[in-house]
Amino acid sequence: MKNVDDLIESAAELAERGLSKGEIADELNVSRETASWLVERAGGIAPTQPERAAMPQDVHVDWSTIGRDSQRLGYVAWAMADLLQKHGDAVDLTVGIEKAGAPLATMVGHALGTDLATYAPRKHQWEEGDIEDLGGSFSRNFAGIDGRECYVVDDTITSGTTMRETIEAIREAGGDPVCCAVIADKQGVDTLDDVPVYSLVQVIPVDRRR
């Protein structure tokens, strides 16, 4: 994807397939606010200059070159595992945040010899309004959380909301999130809710007005 018009076209295609705005945000690696803006302008008419100026400040991260090749994905997962393994051998569970975090967590778990769990965040149900009224869930097809230390894996951190939600959900389920790892972090965070966060790449916008 090269520009805003490409993102608008992609958002329109995803909306036509029935994805919620939260799922579109997840697919395009942008914030929910940016996803809403893109969907609202999806209609075949290029946004005006004032509309472009009103677009939420965000960074689109396209890591599809990695994601579409299992070998490349494996190399990246090994790099993420290398960041996580400094916390010792006691951790026996890797939690992947769906959707994109699940395949990464699978390979990270393989590299570290852990079991696998997945978490579907509440944003996948989000269209409009207060996201706090929705609920996420752990898949019953994978390992349980209760009484276990775990790593948390996702592809990107945009605002940190989804990662915080997952940390909270793990604790509520009786687990102990030891640390998190992502490919790209747009916030430049070192910790979230007292849990260390590691990223392969930090994407930090530079604002000359500050």
Is residue 207 in a domain? no
Which of 100, 103, 105 shows the shortest CA–CA distance to 84?
Answer: 105
Residues spanned by the domain of 35: 4-53
pTM attached to this predicted model: 0.82
Give 85-100 pLDDT, tens digit per residue: 988 778 999 999 998 9
Give 46-84 pLDDT, tens digit per residue: 666 666 666 677 888 889 999 999 999 999 999 999 999
Place of tokens 């009224």: 133
Q: Are residues 33 and 70 in the same domain?
A: no
Q: Are residues 81 and 27 in the same domain?
A: no
Is residue 10 in a domain? yes
Beta bridge partners of 177: 150
Q: Are residues 85 and 170 in the same domain?
A: yes
Is residue 175 in a domain? yes
Give 185-203 pLDDT, tens digit per residue: 998 899 999 999 999 999 8
Is residue 164 in a domain? yes
Place of tokens 């490349």: 72
Domain CATH for 14? 1.10.10
DSSP codes of every residue in 26-80: HHHT--HHHHHHHHHT-SSSPPPHHHHHTSPP------HHHHT-HHHHHHHHHHH
Is residue 194 in a domain? yes
Is residue 155 in a domain? yes
Give 105-141 pLDDT, tens digit per residue: 999 999 999 999 999 998 766 567 666 666 789 999 9
pLDDT on residue 44: 59
Q: Are residues 44 and 71 in the same domain?
A: no
Task: Give the count of domains, the chain.
Answer: 2
CA distance 85 to 82: 5
